[in-house]
Chains A and B, each alone.
Chain A
Amino acid sequence: MLLEVSNLDISYGEHPIVHDVSLKLDSGKVIAIVGESGSGKTTVIRAILGCLPNEGHVTNGKIVFDGKNLLENTAEEWRKVSGKDITMVFQASGSMLDPIQKIGKQFVEYIRQHVDVTEEDAYQQAIAMLKRMNLPNPETIMDSFPFELSGGMNQRVGVAMGMFFSPRILLADEPTSALDVTTQAQVVEEMMGICRDDGTAIIIVTHNLGVAAYMADEIIVMRNGHIVERGTSDEIVNNPKEDYTKELLDAVPQIGGLAHDIYEAG
């Protein structure tokens, strides 16, 4: 078992936010956590990376990665794990990147934080990674500031950075929510492709049930900090048990769904 989260409770200050969440993840598998805003889905994956906001803290439970409880990590141990073995792709990578430094400088700095290579080597490896993600003109991208790139391009740079060390676990927080359908398809395909090649496990948090159904082996539905239902993506989508899951699925607009207005005039 790569990652085992058991009976996790998380509070912000005095307020309990997440209640009794457990999940198990094997290499190469994808779990999607779906739910509305405020359901606690982002809080769960932030806890796994040890980056809860100031007020947040885990009050109960364990997060065991590779046989070690991450909650007992020292700051130094966290620094080694996060960004290398466990990485995260954020919702808006454009605002995760430093606005006053070029992409290249940030990418090289990130690589050299974790491995001992020369700047030139790191630069070449970063270029190779961008090429692997099918990004056009990687040299131009490395020489750009984040604001010079489109949202989709920034997001793909964020994914490229998250995938760079072939992490054991990739945590993705709404990685495609801010993107157009075409760019969304590109980013999803790139994430899936690299995970197939490297055996990376993914936990994706999303409210796009179509993306969740496409990517995930298991879907976890959350509401108000509780797990409402879990199952294989096929079970959840085609045979949901809980009313809330059915409601959520019914709300997703689909092409080819309901009958439509008829036009008679020419």
Chain B
Amino acid sequence: MTSTKLGKDYVLNIQHVVKKFPVGEGKVLTACNDVSLKLYRGESLAIVGESGCGKSTLAKCIMRLHDVTSGSIFYGDQDITQLKGEDLRQMRKHIQMVFQDPNTAFDPKMKIKDIICEPLYNFDMIKPSEAEEKAKEMLRLVELPEDIVDRYPANMSGGQRQRIGIARALVLNPEVLVCDEATSALDVSVQKKIVDLLLSIQKKTNLSIIFICHDLALVYQMCNRAAVMYLGNVVEVLPAGKLKEAKHPYTQALLRSVFPLREKGTHTVQTLEGEIPSPVNLPTGCPFQDRCCECMDHGCRETMAPLKKQGIQHYAACHLLDDEVQETAQS
């Protein structure tokens, strides 16, 4: 069993990030609403939630593919949301991304070696004569045969292409890897191999991974911590291995929706009624109020509960929960 000690050593510090998109007629879509998260060095942090909860938007803000509306994202002591021009370009070396669909993530007319080495060319870190050797080194890292350097992405399988996506993202030796649903398009057996690969690379290089995913079971097995998002808000952050002890009604509802493989009969699958509400004109109060079976007169309709400490590395934002740890500390 590996044991990760989490200290103050974090690589990314996301503070109060808000991202709004204008959708015409004076309406505003709030994709991320005051998101604060830290990414520790060498950990894998999962961001889970339903489609439309803002998890990909948050990733794109971290990648600076979107500009935040307000808030800041610190990489070291640099606020990357304020970077411009050459400084921004240089920062990109440290944060890289693996995309969801490996079939559309590459230029089909580029050879594998050029795909893998393109980030190095961009930063003038490699001579064309060295490209083939470097590409082979990266292919070894992602456990692909070296002799595919001169092939094109079209004649590879989805799993192989996703490995090339990982090789390309890692060639600059980044500190942070953002995986946006990187395994969702793959078969389970291929998914397992890709996840094992990511974890073994993480062990070797102390890489920090942000893993955006909607498969709770996968998150449970591969990640250190999980942040659950709902309608642009982080509603719960907890150690992924303790997902079953989740406190927030939304996280509990998500867990009840999973079809277990072997516990047929012992675990009743319950459905969450209704749909995720429109992020245009957010309701005041708790974002989950309309679907929550426990929503009562606790101020759920008036104010959004802050994240309250529930245990080690465990925070949940719900009016039903008390700030247990602090109260015991005071009494």
Specify which of A214, A252, A262 is in contact with B188 (CB 8 Å cutoff). Answer: A252
What B residues does A37 contact at CB under 8 A?
158, 187
Contact flag A189-B50 (CB < 8 Å), given A211-B259, A261-B241:
no
What A residues does B187 contact at CB under 8 A?
36-37, 207
Asked whether, in the complex, the Cβ of A152 is within 8 Å of the Cβ of B275, the reply is yes
Closest A residue to B9 by CB, please name it.
A265
Asked whether, in the complex, the Cβ of A255 is within 8 Å of the Cβ of B270, the reply is no
Within 8 Å of chain A (Cβ to Cβ): is B104?
no
Within 8 Å of chain A (Cβ to Cβ): is B331?
no
Asked whether, in the complex, the Cβ of A182 is within 8 Å of the Cβ of B1, the reply is no
Asked whether, in the complex, the Cβ of A248 is within 8 Å of the Cβ of B51, the reply is no
* 6 examples of A-B residue contacts, CB within 8 angstroms: A36-B188, A185-B270, A251-B189, A255-B260, A259-B241, A261-B1
**Interface hits, A184-236 → B, CB 8 Å:** 184-186, 188-189, 207-211, 213-214, 233-234
Asked whether, in the complex, the Cβ of B312 is within 8 Å of the Cβ of A210, the reply is no
Within 8 Å of chain B (Cβ to Cβ): is A254?
yes
Contact flag A214-B4 (CB < 8 Å), given A182-B253, A237-B261, A255-B216:
no
Asked whether, in the complex, the Cβ of B259 is within 8 Å of the Cβ of A213, the reply is yes
Asked whether, in the complex, the Cβ of B272 is within 8 Å of the Cβ of A185, the reply is yes
Contact flag A189-B312 (CB < 8 Å), given A207-B188, A248-B188, A261-B3:
no
| 1/0 contact string of A14-57 vs chain B (CB within 8 Å) | 00000000000000000000001100000000000000000000
Question: What residues of chain B have their CB less than 8 Å away from a CB belonging to chain A?
Answer: 1-7, 50-52, 158, 187-192, 214-218, 220-222, 224, 239-241, 243-244, 253-262, 264, 269-272, 274-276, 312-313
Specify which of A208, A253, A255, A265 is in contact with B5 (CB 8 Å cutoff). Answer: A265
What A residues does B257 contact at CB under 8 A?
181-182, 184-185
Asked whether, in the complex, the Cβ of A36 is within 8 Å of the Cβ of B269, the reply is no
Asked whether, in the complex, the Cβ of A254 is within 8 Å of the Cβ of B261, the reply is yes
CB proximity of A181 to chain B, nearest CB, Å: 4
Asked whether, in the complex, the Cβ of A265 is within 8 Å of the Cβ of B7, the reply is yes
What B residues does A259 contact at CB under 8 A?
1, 241
Closest B residue to A254 by CB, please name it.
B217
Q: In whole angstroms, how far apart are the Cα atoms of A189 and B270 in the complex?
A: 9
Q: In whole angstroms, how far apart are the Cα atoms of A13 and B52 in the complex?
A: 42
CB proximity of B186 to chain A, nearest CB, Å: 9
Contact flag A253-B3 (CB < 8 Å), given A210-B261, A214-B259:
no
Asked whether, in the complex, the Cβ of A186 is within 8 Å of the Cβ of B1, the reply is no
Q: In whole angstroms, how far apart are the Cα atoms of A182 and B254 in the complex?
A: 6
With A251-B188, A255-B260, A264-B312 known, 15 other A-B pairs at CB within 8 A are A37-B187, A136-B274, A152-B275, A181-B50, A181-B257, A183-B275, A185-B259, A186-B271, A211-B259, A213-B259, A213-B264, A214-B269, A238-B262, A253-B192, A254-B220
Closest A residue to B274 by CB, please name it.
A136
Asked whether, in the complex, the Cβ of A262 is within 8 Å of the Cβ of B3, the reply is yes
Q: In whole angstroms, how far apart are the Cα atoms of A265 and B189 in the complex?
A: 34
What B residues does A139 contact at CB under 8 A?
none
Specify which of B2, B243, B262 is in contact with A261 (CB 8 Å cutoff). Answer: B2
| 1/0 contact string of A47-85 vs chain B (CB within 8 Å) | 000000000000000000000000000000000000000
Specify which of A153, A253, A265 is in contact with B275 (CB 8 Å cutoff). Answer: A153
Specify which of A136, A186, A214, A253 is in contact with B217 (CB 8 Å cutoff). Answer: A253
Q: In whole angstroms, how far apart are the Cα atoms of A150 and B53 in the complex?
A: 13
What A residues does B221 contact at CB under 8 A?
253-254, 257-258, 260
What A residues does B189 contact at CB under 8 A?
36, 247-248, 251
What B residues does A242 contact at CB under 8 A?
none
Of A253, A258, A262, most B-chain CB atoms within 10 Å: A253
CB proximity of A48 to chain B, nearest CB, Å: 23
CB proximity of B249 to chain A, nearest CB, Å: 13
What B residues does A152 contact at CB under 8 A?
51, 275
Asked whether, in the complex, the Cβ of B6 is within 8 Å of the Cβ of A150, the reply is no
CB proximity of B226 to chain A, nearest CB, Å: 11
CB proximity of B31 to chain A, nearest CB, Å: 15
Q: In whole angstroms, how far apart are the Cα atoms of A237 and B261 in the complex?
A: 7
Specify which of B158, B217, B241, B313 is in contact with A260 (CB 8 Å cutoff). Answer: B241
What A residues does B260 contact at CB under 8 A?
210, 254-255
Of B7, B253, B271, most A-chain CB atoms within 10 Å: B271
What A residues does B274 contact at CB under 8 A?
136
What A residues does B239 contact at CB under 8 A?
260-261, 263
What A residues does B217 contact at CB under 8 A?
252-255, 257
Specify which of B3, B5, B51, B190 is in contact with A151 (CB 8 Å cutoff). Answer: B51
What B residues does A251 contact at CB under 8 A?
188-189, 191-192
